[in-house]
Copies of this chain bind each other. A is one copy, B any other.
């Protein structure tokens, strides 16, 4: 099944302007869509960024990685992943290269499913699961009334779990917002918070103690991702479980958190983690350590890939939904998602819709 063609297209699409404590204003998303042709089939994959680096991802695919794939047998996806990762080792080992390798790896897994006429969850070695989903806001700069409107929207869509951003300059501001959200969703609902790496260690201890009375299910990315020791120490200092994943760009980066029990919830993102291939390895490591597994963004693919985990707890339904650009948006039923049963990933972008909004 020799690979005949690899292509990458770039789209820059607007987001409803908002932000978080670590990345500041977010108003643009880049989407890099790839196609891989082999044996009459076309696998589809993609990478995204939050506004910068997309043209470099496209250049990596077109100038470097495509040459490593053309003519190779598409069936051994794991070997091809290593070929791509090692082919860019000098400038890689994570970071931006992980995003480019991911887009191709997703397309190769799609091809594997198309060839075997099986959905991704099945070729990835999973069992088809219905997984709870949560409504996830990007809302730090929003005034309180808009924050509550967003959370109300999540409840209306059937979610009984929601996540909101924290990390406003004034701790009391964070407290008042989390108190209002808890009051709105009621005691029975699940509430997570996300600090997006915005805190020092002392701030993280102080803020999580201030917010803990509102019954937090997890605290996401309290500190810089490099600070594994800080996360481990924090995990023993506060009662709220810590969640990480979106900023880790290799299996090795996850392994440090998992080996050190520096996080209680491991969140895969098949784009930022370098693809479905490493995400499956990360889930095996997390399962082996008895940690909880969940996902960041990449909602549609995560519903498949988490089926390979022993007991995934949540799929994130992200505020920056790709629904307007998808042929078949993911369906949420009673606050849960189930992976599609089409062969491959089932994920197809609508190019016309993308071109209509592209900046």
Whether A91 contacts B225 by the Cβ 8 Å rule is: no
Contacting residues of chain A (57-116) with chain B, CB-CB under 8 angstroms: 57-60, 62-64, 87-100
A250 beta carbon closer than 8 Å to chain B = yes
A50 — nearest CB in chain B belongs to which residue?
B90
Whether B52 contacts A90 by the Cβ 8 Å rule is: yes
A52 — nearest CB in chain B belongs to which residue?
B64
Q: A58-B59, A89-B22 are in contact. Are A53 and B95 (CB under 8 A)?
A: no
Which residues of B lie under 8 Å from residue A59 when comparing CB positions?
55-56, 58-59
**Most B CB atoms within 10 A — which of A56, A95, A225?**
A56
A98 — nearest CB in chain B belongs to which residue?
B95
Whether B226 contacts A90 by the Cβ 8 Å rule is: no
Partner of A92 from B22, B63, B87, B96 at Cβ < 8 Å: B96
Instruction: Write out, one digit per residue, whether chain A residues 221-234 have a CB within 8 A of any chain B CB (1) or not (0).
Output: 00001100000000
Copies of this polypeptide in the complex: 2
Interface size class of A (residues with CB under 8 A): 35 or more
Classify the secondary structure of A's interface with B: helix
Q: How far, in whole Å, are A90 and B90 apart by their CA atoms in the complex?
A: 20
Q: How far, in whole Å, are A247 and B57 apart by their CA atoms in the complex?
A: 21
Q: How far is the CB of A133 from chain B (nearest CB, A)?
A: 23
A323 beta carbon closer than 8 Å to chain B = no
Which residues of B lie under 8 Å from residue A64 when comparing CB positions?
52-53, 55-56
Would you list 28 pairs from A and B whose C-beta atoms are within 8 A, ordered by A residue? A23-B89, A49-B90, A50-B90, A52-B64, A52-B88, A52-B90, A52-B91, A53-B64, A53-B88, A53-B90, A54-B63, A55-B60, A55-B64, A56-B60, A56-B63, A56-B64, A56-B91, A90-B272, A91-B99, A93-B94, A93-B95, A93-B225, A93-B226, A94-B94, A94-B95, A96-B97, A226-B250, A226-B252
Question: Which residues does A use to contact B, with CB under 8 Å?
Answer: 22-23, 49-50, 52-60, 62-64, 87-100, 225-226, 247, 249-250, 252, 272
